[in-house]
Amino acid sequence: MGTRRKKHVILTCEYCKNKFEVIPSLKNKRRCCSKICMGKYNSVHKIGKANPNYSGGTTEQKIGYILINTGPNKREYEHRIVMAKHLGRDLTKAEVIHHIDGNKKNNCVTNLMLFKNQSTHTKYHSDLRLLE
């Protein structure tokens, strides 16, 4: 007694347009003929809001800062965007933003201080330790 083979359904790959066969139960789940085509299809069709993993364009780093998508393959720290908007100009790469309350997620302009460079920021912290 041999195994009974299920009838296959013929589909068209949404990426390369080649025909491929699947069992009927997978007819509504498969879009592409291979993992390679599926990866290429997703890289074109599932970007931004179309991606099920889309988080609204923001990412929280492990160290606590929030990154915001500002363009294709471009992300910026939220606190730097907030300060730049407040000042009405772009920040230089040397300028450092300090969170007054120490909470890296609190990016309210009243909680942010702008320093000219890292050395003035470090000096501020050393002066704070002397006052304690």
Contact predicate 32/18, CB 8 Å: no
In the chain, the domains with their CATH numbers are 9-44 (no CATH), 58-131 (3.90.75.20)
Sole residue written with tokens 């933003």: 97
Residue 17 has pLDDT above 80, yes or no: yes
CA dihedral 116, 122, 126, 128 (to 10 degrees): 60
pLDDT digits (tens, 9 = 90+) for 57-97: 788 888 899 999 888 788 999 999 999 999 999 999 999 99
pLDDT of residue 103: 95
Beta-bridged to residue 76, according to DSSP, are 68
Quick check: helix, strand or coil at residue 20?
strand
Give the whole-angstrom CA distance, residue 20 versus residue 35.
Answer: 13
pTM of the predicted protein model: 0.61
Two structure tokens written together for 10: 């013929």
Angle at 73 between CA 32 and CA 84, to 5 degrees: 150
State pLDDT tens for residues 21-62: 999 988 899 999 999 999 998 888 777 777 767 767 788 888
Q: Which one, of 111, 94, 95, lies nearest residue 103 by Cα? A: 111
State the Cα–Cα distance between residues 3 and 98, nearest whole angstrom. Answer: 70
